[in-house]
Amino acid sequence: MRWTPRGRSEDLEDRRGTIIRRGPALGLGGFLILLVLSILFKRDLFQLVSPGADVGQPVGVPAGVPPEASSPEEERMVQFMSFVLDDAQDTWTRIFAESGETYPRAQLVLFTDAVQSECGFAQSTMGPFYCPLDGKVYLDYTFFNDLHARFGAPGDFAQAYVVAHEIGHHVQNVLGIAEQVQQLQQGNPGAANELSVLMELQADCLAGVWGHSTQQRQLLDVGDLEEGLAAAAAVGDDRIQRQTSGRVAPESWTHGSSDQRVTWFRRGLESGSIDQCDTFAGLRR
C-alpha cells in the first residue's frame, strides 16, 4: 500500500505497556516484595500497582505514552495504523458530509496483552474489537502476526482491512444500526447469531467502501486487493472452526463464512457505496 508517514494520529491512544491489574489491593506480602525489588532495581515499582486501584483498571504507564523500548519496527507500525485510521475516517467524513451529516471520529486504542474499555475487560486473544459505549477501536497489533502466521493473510492491506472493518462498526454505531440490532437480538434471542453475522458482513462491506476510495486515489499496489480479500477469507467462521475443531457448525457463526465475508468486502470495494451494504435487506422482505 502506498502510504506516507504523517506522524501519530490525533485519534490514536497508545496504551501499550499499560498494566491492567485484576485483583484486590496490594497486601503486606506484596508490599514487602515490591519494596525489595524497588531497592534492587533502583526504581519505584509501586507506581505500577497503585494502592486502591479498582479491579480491572489500568495503572502504571499513562495513556498515550509509548513504551520505553519501542523499536523502529513498532513505531513504523504505529505510523501505519495512524495513516489507515486517519484516511478511513477522512473518507467517512466526506461521505457523511455529502448527505449533510457530521461524522464523529472514533479513537483507536493500541494495547498489549489486556485492556479495559467501557465494554469491559478484554485480552488480546479476543482479537481487535469496537466498543460502542466509548466509540473506540481496541487493537493489540500482535494480532497481525496471527493473521499472517496462523491464518495465512500477510501484507499491509490485510492489516488495513482489519482497521477499516472496526471503523465500519463505528459507522454502524453512528447511524444507529448497532442499537437497532441490539434491540432485535434482545427481542428475539434465537436470531442473535444471525443478526451478529449480518452486522459483521456489513462492516466488511463498509471496509470495502473505504478500500474503493483508496483505489480511486491510486494508493494500492499490485496485490493489495488480493491481500485484503485473503484477510476477509481468513477470518471466516467456517475456516476458523475447521482449524480449531475440524468441524463446521453454521448455527454458531457470529461473523459469517469466508465466502460471505469476501463477497461483502468485494461489494464495497467495487461499488464504493454505502447503499450497497444493506446486509439486512432480506429480513425486511
Grid cell 460471505 — which residue? Answer: 260
pLDDT score at 269? 95
| pLDDT band, residue 232 (cuts 50/70/90) | confident
Give 126 or 166, the one with higher predicted confidence: 166
pLDDT at 67 over 50: no
Give 117 or 69, the one with higher predicted confidence: 117
Give 221 or 88, the one with higher predicted confidence: 88
Q: Could you tell me the residue ranges of all domains in the chain? A: 19-41+48-56, 63-280
What phi and psi values does residue 280 have, to the nearest 5 degrees? -95, 5
| pLDDT band, residue 285 (cuts 50/70/90) | low
pLDDT at 45 over 70: no
**Termini Cα distance of the chain:** 40
Query: Which pTM does this prediction carry?
Result: 0.81
Tens-digit pLDDT profile for residues 81-119: 999 999 999 999 999 999 999 999 999 999 999 999 999
pLDDT score at 179? 94
pLDDT score at 115? 92
Average pLDDT over residues 64-75: 65
pLDDT at 47 over 60: no
Tens-digit pLDDT profile for residues 4-39: 888 899 999 999 887 665 544 445 555 455 455 555
| pLDDT band, residue 54 (cuts 50/70/90) | very low
CA-CA distance, 93 to 149, in Å (whole number)?
34
